[in-house]
Amino acid sequence: MSGVGPAAVSTQRPPAPVNISVVQQRNGLMLKWLPPRDTPTSTTRLRPIQAYVVQYRTVGQWVDLTDRIDADRTWFEWKTASRGATYHFKVLGAPNVPLQSVE
Domain ranges of the chain: 18-36+48-102
Q: What is the spatial distance between Cα 94 and Cα 64, in angstroms, rounded to a whole number?
A: 13
> What band does 78 get if pLDDT is binned at 50, 70 and 90?
very high
For the chain, percent of residues with pLDDT exceeding 90: 35
* Interval 17-44: pLDDT, tens: 888 999 999 889 999 998 877 665 555 5
**What is the average pLDDT value for the chain, to the nearest integer?**
77
For residue 33, the model assigns a pLDDT of: 93
The topology under which CATH files domain 18-36+48-102 is: Immunoglobulin-like (2.60.40)
Beta strands in the chain (DSSP E): 18-25, 28-34, 51-57, 63-64, 69-70, 75-78, 88-93, 97-102
